[in-house]
Structure 1
Amino acid sequence: MNSVSTIIYILGYSTVSFILTMLVTPAFIGFLEKNRFGKQIREETVDGRKSIIFRGLHAKKAGTPTMGGVLVWGITAIIVLLSSLTPFSVLDRGETYLPLFTLVVTGILGALDDYYNIRGIGTKKGIGARPKLFWLTLFALLGAWWFYSRLGYNEIHIPALGDFFIGLWYIPLFAFVIIATSNSVNITDGLDGLAAGLLIVAFGAFGIFAFVNGLFVLTAFCGILMGSLTAFLWYNIPPARFFMGDTGALSFGATLGVIAMLTNAVFLLPIIGFVFVIETLSSLIQISSKKFLGRKIFSITPLHHLFEHWGWAEYTVTMRFWIIGGLTAVLGVIIGLVGLN
């Protein structure tokens, strides 16, 4: 394909994804409401205490349909698989096998966690942190093995410094990136529209890297995700009609990590996903402070809830975090493109 055909190919799939998700979403929300797939507000903090501040901020959201992420990754998977029946396939061994596998498998894991939470199954009303981490680690190691042994990835690119051979160390690095990114997005997904907006920007940034590197099928895959997430965001902005849930946050976060590795731009991930990083750091600082100092540093974490507690309106936090995420994504893209020259 020439450059014009390639752009039409990418934008075409993105548009189809957006339109299809927009058309299906109202019926999907109705299905969630009818079957009472409503969000359960957490009752305890990480140290087992009553989450009084959080419940005060978000008690009104109890019962809002969740598991909306199923719609996004489900439509993405359907479009990718059906595209293989056409001359314009988005299914490619070297570019989209692993992102698609990651999207669906971690989406199923998150869906189980959401379902257990909704139905009150398990001691923690969910799969639990340790079992979830175990399965995420297993999936991440499988993906790392595929990258290293089947696709031949064994180098990393550091902007301004060049490529470095790391051999087998690629496997633990890959696993760490997938686990960290999936959990970071999950932590950030706490306000209407926040995670979805940031994800659209992040997938767009890595889509640019994919395009510049000649990974046009992967670029189309990013476009499909962006189209579906944009339609999801239409119904997720304040006040949200439904939430993405763990099935979305874990899935999209893990997939973002895989795409960062595929485009060899993993060291730009903390810049492009800066908001995800600071949200996660605030929670890690809080947990560490409670464990080692016996007291809290912040009144509540993650950071978006802290700003809410300080009096910022939810939509104010969301839009300002979007602005920060957009600016850091632009910075990351500039650094990445300059580093290629």
Structure 2
Amino acid sequence: MMPYSQLVVTIVIAFFITLVLGPIVIPLLHRLKVGQSIRDEGPKSHMTKSGTPTMGGLIMIAAIAITTLTSGTINKDLYVILFATIAFGLIGFIDDFIKVVLRRNLGLKAHQKLIGQIIVAVIIALYQSKVSVTGTKILIPFVQGANKYLDLGMLYVPFIAFVVVATANGVNLTDGLDGLAAGVTLIVSSFFSLVAMHWGYPSIAVFCGALTGACLGFLRFNAHPARVFMGDTGSMALGGAVATIAILMNLTLFIPIVGGIYFAETLSVMMQVASFKLTGKRIFKMSPLHHHFELSGWKETKVVVVFWSVTLLLCIIGLFGLN
């Protein structure tokens, strides 16, 4: 088992790298005038955030990469997670660049973004299907004994690819309030780091520690009132990282549990769109879900703290679901 001290050191290193990079990158983003544009149909309280630099996810990606690549605990799994993080971050970066630099508000077209995500996701799924000792079987939460695995067979690759894409977009939808996505992901990555340590995945534990430290450091600049937003660059990178971490430890079905906030945010959008198209009525005041609570009278900081708390509770539940 990986010593707790090594995990703590990894978290601290990533945390301080993020703190150092923040004051360097944020002024640069200001000079490049890559300010976030706020949707007119969004909550009116968000209009004051217009012009806040975005693409701050570059800070976290750099901190994670530097920390993991200098950790001395490197193997194929670590390279695959880094690949997923950087690849999804690159897709988000291109989207952000088109929106805030080229001033094309819609960014990448939906099908362009989806094609890129699917390609990366399939690579991850194929890798895991070849190297996993359980092959195409996935672990079922809260089930003991011989029945704790479900063999997906030929459905394994498309299922895993779907999970990766869905998680990345779920984190992207969660990134709508100051500190929300970073805080939720910090808690989720802490859960996976503990599992990785106890299950003998030292390289994954190191990555999770770096991810935790980077998210914690980023909150210094992203907590309300945010000085920088992570943008799609950051949210896509975080989503790709979380999904790949879970998949490489065969904890794919734990993502909807510990990442319940990601799931709820995505589901709220799907329900809202379906309801409006079918009935012309909206279920929520606004989607994703965090905006519904804002428009119901909750302060932004209250929504964020409640969602963090729910994530912590879900991660505790997730621990009981481990076999």
Aligned alpha-carbon RMSD (Å): 1.6
Q: Does 1:64 align with 2:52?
A: yes
Question: 1:213 deviation in Å?
Answer: 1.4
CA distance in 2, matches of 1:271, 1:329: 7
Q: Does 1:231 align with 2:213?
A: no
| Superposition pairs of residues 94-243 of structure 1, within 5 angstroms | 95-122=77-104, 124-151=105-132, 153-159=135-141, 160=143, 161-243=147-229
Question: 1:75 deviation in Å?
Answer: 1.9
CA distance in 2, matches of 1:55, 1:325: 24
Q: Residue 96 of structure 1 aligns to a residue in which SS?
A: helix
CA distance in 2, matches of 1:212, 1:317: 33
Matched to 1:118, the amino acid is V
The unaligned stretches of length 5 or more in structure 1 are: 44-50, 84-88
Question: 1:211 deviation in Å?
Answer: 1.5
Matched to 1:71, the amino acid is I
Question: 1:80 deviation in Å?
Answer: 2.3
Are the counterparts in 2 of residues 235 and 242 from structure 1 also a CA contact under 8 Å? yes
CA distance in 2, matches of 1:73, 1:90: 18
CA distance in 1, matches of 2:155, 2:192: 23
The unaligned stretches of length 5 or more in structure 2 are: none
Q: Does 1:245 align with 2:231?
A: yes
Are the counterparts in 2 of residues 110 and 250 from structure 1 also a CA contact under 8 Å? yes
Question: 1:121 deviation in Å?
Answer: 4.5
Q: Does 1:15 align with 2:12?
A: yes
Q: Residue 197 of structure 2 aligns to a residue in which SS?
A: helix
Are the counterparts in 2 of residues 41 and 59 from structure 1 also a CA contact under 8 Å? yes
| Superposition pairs of residues 290-329 of structure 1, within 5 angstroms | 290-329=276-315
Number of residue-to-residue matches in the alignment: 318
Counterpart among 75, 84, 87 of residue 92 in structure 1 = 75
CA distance in 2, matches of 1:299, 1:120: 32
* CA deviation map 1:45-78 (0-9, x unaligned): xxxxxx2xx1513111110011111110122112
Question: 1:151 deviation in Å?
Answer: 4.7
* CA deviation map 1:196-227 (0-9, x unaligned): 00000101111122122110111011001111
Are the counterparts in 2 of residues 32 and 66 from structure 1 also a CA contact under 8 Å? yes
Question: 1:143 deviation in Å?
Answer: 1.4
TM-score by length of 1: 0.89
CA distance in 1, matches of 2:239, 2:97: 19
Question: 1:150 deviation in Å?
Answer: 4.6
Are the counterparts in 1 of residues 58 and 234 from structure 2 also a CA contact under 8 Å? yes
CA distance in 2, matches of 1:299, 1:308: 9
CA distance in 1, matches of 2:183, 2:101: 29
Question: 1:157 deviation in Å?
Answer: 0.8
